Amino acid sequence: MKQVKFIFIIILINFSWSIGLKSLLLPVDAISMASSNAGIAQSESVKINPAIILSQKSNSLSVSLNKWLGDIKGSSLSHYWRDKYVYINSYQVDGIELWGTSPQDEAIGDFSVRWLCIAYGQGFKINDNLHLGLESQGIYSRLYTQTTKGILGNIGLIYKYNEKYKLGLTAKNFGYLDSELNEDYPLEFGLGFGWNLSQKICLKLDVVENNSTDMVLRSSVDAILNFFTFTAGMSHYDSNQYFSGGIKLDYRHWSISYGILSQEVPALGTPYSIQLTLNY
C-alpha cells in the first residue's frame, strides 16, 4: 500500500504540471469544489474571491474534510466575522517508502509529503456597489527533506450593477516564494460574471488567465429548493475539461455541504469535500 502511495505521488507531480490540474487548486471547502471554483462575482466562498466576505449574511465557523487525487487527505478550518476571515488548509501523506538507487529487498526508510496554507483576509466597502477584498497567505510544503515556503497575496473586486447582475475581478498568487522543489504558484487573473435569473437560480461565468495553463473557462449554476442548494460546475482547459457538483443543506444555524470533482484518470480517484458550518 505504501508503494502504491509513492506511485500516486509521482503520477500527481507529472499529471499536475502536464495538464494544469494544479490550477484547479487543492480543495479548501465543499462550496468551491462543487462549483469548480467558479463564482468570482458571486459565491459563498472567500477562497474564490476575498471580496466575497462583505456579502456574508452572518459570522460563521466552518470545518471541512477533503480528499484530493490519489487518496491524499486534508482538512480545512475557517472563521468569518464581520469584514474579516481566516482559514487554515492542510494536506499530508505519511509512510511513503523510500528506496535507494540500487536494488534492495527492503525500503531504507519512510518519508512524508506535507502542504499547509494559512490565510487572513479583509474586505473594504468602497461604496454600496463596489467591494474590495485583500488576502495574504503563508505557504509551506515539504517533500522528503526539500521545502517550499513563501507569502502570497490575492486581491478581489466585486461590482454590483443591480440585484440581478454582478461583475468580479481577481489577481492571485503574487508575492515571495522560496522553493527547493522548483515549485511555482502561477500568477492568475480572473474576470467573473454573476447573473441571478431569479431568487432561486444563479448562473456564474468566469474567465481565468493562468501563467501555467493559459486561459481557463469556469462556469456553475446554483438552484435553491427549500432547505437545499444544488450546484453544478465545469472547468474547461485547452487540453481537457472537468465537471463538479454538490449539495448544501441549511437548517437553522447549521449547514452541511458536499462537493465532488470528476476527472478522467480512474486510478487517481475522485476528489471530494464535506463541510460543516455554524452560522452565528
Question: Among 5-9, 76-80, 97-101, which stretch is predicted with the lowest mean pLDDT?
Answer: 5-9
- Tell me the torsion sign for CA atoms 25, 132, 171, 177: negative
> pLDDT for 124-172, tens place per residue?
999 999 999 999 999 998 877 788 899 999 999 999 999 999 999 999 9
List, as one string, the DSSP characters of 98-143: E--SS--SS-SEEEEEEEEEEEEEEEEESSSSEEEEEEEEEEEEEE
Q: What pLDDT is recorded for position 214?
A: 76
> Has residue 280 got a pLDDT over 60?
yes
Q: What nine digits make up the cell of 63?
A: 470545518
Domain 2-279, classified CATH 3.10.290.10, yes or no:
no
* DSSP, res 264: S
The residue ranking higher by pLDDT, 257 or 19, is 257
> Has residue 18 got a pLDDT over 50?
no
Q: How far apart are CA 280 and CA 57, in angstroms?
A: 10
Residue pair 23/80 in contact by the 8 Å Cβ criterion: no
> Has residue 16 got a pLDDT over 60?
no
- Read off the pTM: 0.84
Once rounded to an integer, what is the mean pLDDT over residues 210-228? 90
> What percentage of the chain carries pLDDT values higher than 70?
81
Q: What pLDDT is recorded for position 23?
A: 42
Q: What pLDDT is recorded for position 31?
A: 94
Q: What pLDDT is recorded for position 87?
A: 96
* CA 268 vs CA 28, 142, 179, 202, 242: distances in Å: 19, 21, 26, 32, 14
Once rounded to an integer, what is the mean pLDDT over residues 7-21? 43
> Has residue 2 got a pLDDT over 70?
no
Q: How far apart are CA 166 and CA 14, in angstroms?
A: 37
Residue pair 271/69 in contact by the 8 Å Cβ criterion: yes
The residue ranking higher by pLDDT, 259 or 6, is 259
Name the residue with cell 469535500: 273
Alpha helix (H) residue ranges in 20-122? 30-34
Q: What pLDDT is recorded for position 212?
A: 75
Taking the domains of the chain in order of start, what are their residue ranges? 2-279
Angle at 142 between CA 139 and CA 145, to 5 degrees: 140
